[in-house]
Structure 1
Amino acid sequence: MQETAVNVLHPLKTAALAAMLVLATGWSAVAATPPDQLLVGMNMNNVLTLDPASATGNDVVPVAANLYDYVVELDLHDPTQVRPGIAESWSIADDRRSIVFRIRSGVKFHLGNPLTAEDVAWSLARTLKINRALASPWKAYGFSAANVERSIEATDASTLTIHLPRPTDPRLVLYTLATSIGAVVLDRKTVLAHEHNGDHGAQWLTTHSAGSGAYALARWRPEDVMLLTRFDGYWRGPAKLRAVVLRHIPESQSLRLMIDRNDLDVAMGMSAPDLNALRHDPNVAVETVASGSMYYVALSMSDPKFADRRVREAIRNLIDYDGINRTIMPNYGVFHQRPVQSALPASLPDPGYALNVAAARKLLAEAGFPDGFKTTIRVLADPPFMNIATSLQSTLAQAGIQAEVLSGTGNQVYGAMRNRDFQIVVGRGGGGMEPDPYSNLRALVYNPDNAASAKLTNFQGWRTSFSDPQINRLIERAERERDGAEQIRLYQQVQQRYDADVGPIFPISQMTNTVVLAKDVHGYFVSPAWTTRLRDVYKQR
């Protein structure tokens, strides 16, 4: 495979770099991992770009969280709480229409440029100007490429002011600043030095980085190996480990074997059988946290059959929620049937949906389909998606619905959703990163314009052709509501109405993130927002 251009942002002695690269490409001969390096095995198929304005998917988030600094961060133990990052303090105006941040002085980027409020403002504006998926939460708050330069401004080198273009909950803006890759702080001067034809440095940033984080990018060979080296000039002090080596290992059994042989310190993305086996291994720890995304079955209301409420309710009765969660989802997700993630003040108990073939048959007969019908299920060709689709295919058949499973890549499955060219999808989605009901409801339920010409492809409500004006108004009211108790009531009312509407996205499980750690790895905290930071990780032998 052709090697990506080397990007050395932190000086290393040639011999040390050579030694780590030998390790990264042939470590199986090593009896134990080096004490000053963290060796991580993971599937990097979806790490397609390192550009913070364009990168998507969860796998790239922990990479960005170590290469870059965020304006603020979520508390490790209580992710609803916001802690200082590059901003050492902030204040919200009484009218809740602006937030003023005090940016730390003395912070340096990897190449030595000072980090200022102007870098922060430029980085956020860049995300909106490039206008990919990561611009979506900002656009939901009223920001746009046209207004961002007057809405987000550096009034001096250490002061950043964000003027909210429309009324919204300022806490949502803080959560997005703490979790979105599109909100990391870039070295403006370095990126602009590599700008090509007005692309805001996008081509260069695909394979390079320009951050101030605890680690710097030394080398990346896509679908092979990524080497991060300690930035000794980090403002919090140097990280405890000298380097982090990320290796592309998509096969779960290979990950398990390498953990067993002490060739890895951390393994991510392992399958349920291997994780279950390792839970009994005294030499490792298996850590699991719930994130905010949902595994779901989604129907397209553009299809006349699924536009009928009775048919949607029949499908809702033909999902074996208990069986799927008991036999398929361990280590992937936990039982959950609401569009809002669990453990938030506005979260409601699950409604208790269960497989009920008799009720489904009755509803289908009332809708004019006593013998069922033919349909298709689009699904990723990976576990647990295929397993869920196979279970669904079987239970649909019990009511006479003949479903053909069409497996494919993410572009094929979610691309069909974005084009409204599907019937049923087994997928995963939701805002998920921000620990607030608005995040999930905006992603899964909200749809302010259902017209095909609107092309609101980042709203899964639009993708499924679902739009309830009352739900939209409730979400908008809750977003602006100042009274905490009333805001909770409004978000709960949205969930109840979505159930009553038989909304076309049926959550099955709330996603979990499971990581396997060697017993001598300490200070590793798995983030529910995937922003796992490695600056305090060390080994004790």
Structure 2
Amino acid sequence: MKRKGMGLVGLFLFMAIPLVMAGNIPKDTLVMAMNTEIFKTFDPGVCFEVEPSAFVKNIYANLVTLDIKDGAFTPVGDLAEKWEQSADGKLWTFYLKKGVKFANGDPVKASDVEYSYKRAVKLNKSPAWLFTDTLGLTEDSIKAVNDTTVTITTNGAPANVVLSVLAANIGGVLNEKEVKAHETNGDMGLAWLTDHSAGAGPYVLKEWKRKTQIALTVNKNYYGDTPAIKTILLRDMPEASDRYLSLKKGDVDVAYQITVEEAAGLRDNKDESVQLFTTPGQTLEYVAMNASWGPFKDARVRQAVKYAIDYDAIINKVREGFAIKNQQFLAIGYFGYKESNPFTRDVAKAKKLLADAGYPNGFEVEIVTNESEIRRAEAVVVQSNLADIGIKSNIIIMQAAQMYDKYRNQGLQMIVAGWGIDYPDADALAKPFADYTVKQLAWRNAWLDDKAASMASAAGKEINEKKRAQIYYDLVKYWQDNGPFAMMYQPIEFWGIGNDIKGFDKAFDGYNVHCDFTLISK
């Protein structure tokens, strides 16, 4: 739905929220534009979508949060001033900062942490598996020892995994007293928390008018430094062209989800009023082959495909340069990441690999992708590249739901797709891409490789960080040599922002694993 009346941002019943006119946004107010259709809830125990998660991160405080240090995601204390890990890696003890309050003035206690984490496990919503499967938590795993000490008993997952998961939205600490006061028929506050907040983060959810606007206001009881931005207004603007035009006119400070062409225009043509911000995205784009289908049973054929692909053309033409060549399953900034890009387009080598595997004249295959414009364009490049080595490919466009239904049942020959990362650790990528026993990507492509699965599983349990890093290094090489994936790139995310916006680079670096509105000013 296109929005009309671009000059009026919103008039709220809450007098704390200012009236904002076009081109006259107050210095302490940040106005952003986005298609907000994806917003379903602000409950930290339920929210699992990318854009909403960034807002939830700024409403709730966790025991720990993630900062960016030397280009890597690094756990730092939030509500916890320090923590200890037992020798066997299973028992964690967190000591809370004293004097921290929730937005309504109630003190933050260890019992609130216990309640929040038990609630998340009991609700068993979309993000619950991070607690139950990744960390092995049950309702009995979390105990408040006293008002400032809480213990968590895990399955022995490595320290970076534990701390990364606790820094995710599901680790947001709720005000137990406030939530219980708004329970309905024993729902643990589920309905109320959809559009209300009960946290100790820097902002409070003031109002959510569906398909119109979301408003955050500063938490006056926040324990940290007072943010320069006191009010954040997120306008619902479904059309990218409207968001871009509003940015250029000064009606909004930040435009989410602008097109690749619009981003390239901001990058290549300097504008005195608008600038472009970019950061590595927390997703990976790949081509995958079903290792149980015909020619793809042979690793040499899979290698031939990897050498046939013109990665530079996809990055520079399809993505207009907004991507980073990354041919492994580890994302930039994650534990164990070391640059490793062994594949370049080599038609002669690809043809020899096909001939050695018994396919000197190639073969015919189906490439499936969804209706995304970028994915369709990527599939066309891959189709052309495969034709150069004698492989005739037919592109089939499916609706995403249909495609993933077939994919999950090992029903595709080739696919062009992407993978969103659930938490910033190598474990969140090694398991789906290399361990078929978790029934994710390796399984969907019928790559039932016990060596890869064993390595991924072992690394996910190793608490010695040096040994763990070495396992991932070895697994990446084995996966590149034998796996059914041709990793095309790691996307670069981008936003259009007003030239008077400061600190956006630090605030959105590592989005959405890291997103801190308190670092923004004008």
- Distance verdict in 2 for CA 1:336–1:76, change over 3 Å: closer
Equivalent pair of 1:50/1:209 in contact (CA under 8 Å)? yes
Does residue 293 of the first structure (1) align with residue 283 of the second (2)?
yes
For 2:35, which of 40, 43, 61 is the aligned residue? 43
Within the alignment, does 1:510 sit opposite 2:490 as a pair? yes
Taking structure 1 as reference, are residues 374 and 440 closer, same or farther at Cα in structure 2, changes over 3 Å only?
closer
Distance 2:511 2:422 in 1: 7
Q: Is the 8 A contact 1:429 1:444 kept in 2?
A: no
Out of 54, 69, 73, the position equivalent to 1:62 is 54
Aligned length: 504
Aligned to 1:335: 325
CA gap of 1:255–1:49, structure 2 versus 1, over 3 A, is: same
Task: Tell me, yes or no, if structure 1 residue 71 matches structure 2 residue 54.
Answer: no
Which of 507, 510, 518 is equivalent to 1:528? Answer: 510
Counterpart of 1:487 in structure 2 is 468
Q: Would you say the 8 A contact 1:293–1:432 is kept in 2?
A: no
Q: State the partner residue of 1:448.
A: 437
Match of 2:99 among 69, 89, 106: 106
Distance 1:332 1:133 in 2: 30
Shift of the alpha carbon at 1:159? 0.9
Aligned residue for 2:76?
Answer: 83
CA deviation map 1:420-464 (0-9, x unaligned): 443333222153641x32232133222335xxxxxx4xx322333
Query: Aligned pair in 2 of structure 1 residues 177, 470: CA closer, same or farther (>3 Å)?
Result: same
Which residue of the other structure, out of 221, 224, 231, is the alignment partner of 1:236?
224
Shift in alpha-carbon separation, 1:224–1:422, aligned structure 2, 3 A? farther
Q: Determine the structure 1 residue equivalent to 2:203.
A: 215
Q: What amino acid does structure 2 have at the position aligned with 1:157?
A: D
Deviates more, 1:481-490 or 1:331-340: 481-490
> CA shift at 1:246, angstroms?
0.8
CA distance in 2, matches of 1:68, 1:414: 33
Kept after mapping to 1: 8 A contact 2:307/2:343: yes
Q: Aligned ranges for residues 161-310 of structure 1 at < 5 Å?
A: 161-165=151-155, 167-178=156-167, 180-196=168-184, 198-279=186-267, 280-301=270-291, 303-304=293-294, 306-310=296-300
Q: 1:211 and 1:422, CA in 2 relative to 1: closer, same or farther beyond 3 A?
A: farther
3-state SS in 1 of match to 2:216? strand
1:134-156: CA deviation from partner (whole Å, max 9, x where unpaired):
23333444414xxx222222112
Q: Give the distance between the partners of 2:345 and 2:266, measured in 1 at CA.
A: 32
CA distance in 2, matches of 1:283, 1:71: 39
Counterpart-to-counterpart distance in 1, 2:163 and 2:489: 27
Alignment match, 1:93:
86
Contact 2:281 2:491 (8 Å CA) reproduced: yes
Give the 3 Å change call, closer, same or farther, for CA 532–221 of structure 1 in structure 2: same
Checking the alignment, whether the CA contact within 8 Å between 1:430 and 1:444 is kept in structure 2 is: no
* TM-superposed deviation, 1:334: 0.9
Which structure 2 residues correspond to residues 350-369 of structure 1 after superposition, within 5 A?
350-361=340-351, 363=353, 366=357
Deviation of the 1:198 alpha carbon: 5.0
Equivalent residue, structure 1, for 2:396: 405
Q: Give 1:356 shift.
A: 4.0
Residue of structure 2 equivalent to 1:476: 457
Distance 1:190 1:443, change over 3 A: farther
**Residue 85 of structure 1 aligns to which amino acid in structure 2?**
D
SS at match of 1:171: helix
Matched residue type, 1:461: A
**8 Å Cα contact 1:295-1:428 kept in structure 2:** yes
Please give the alpha-carbon distance, in whole angstroms, between the structure 1 residues aligned to 2:91 and 2:225: 32
Tell me the residue number matched to 1:130: 123
Tell me how large the CA RMSD over aligned residues is: 2.9
Distance 2:444 2:196 in 1: 33
Does structure 1 retain, via aligned residues, the 8 Å contact 2:58–2:203?
A: yes
Alpha-carbon distance between aligned partners in 1 of 2:180 and 2:360, rounded to the nearest angstrom = 60
Distance 1:59 1:175 in 2: 18
Q: 1:332 to 1:192 in 2, by over 3 A?
A: farther
Partner of 2:427: 438
Distance 2:236 2:293 in 1: 40
Distance 2:261 2:85 in 1: 48
Cα distance in 2 for residues equivalent to 1:416 and 1:193: 45
Residues in 1 aligned to 2:397 and 2:170: alpha-carbon distance in whole angstroms: 33
Q: 1:237 Cα deviation (Å)?
A: 4.8
Match of 2:481 among 500, 504, 513: 500
User: Which ranges in structure 2 are unaligned for 5 or more consecutive residues?
Assistant: 2-11
Q: Percent identity?
A: 26
Shift of the alpha carbon at 1:492? 0.6
Q: 1:186 to 1:304 in 2, by over 3 A?
A: farther
1:161: how far off? 0.7
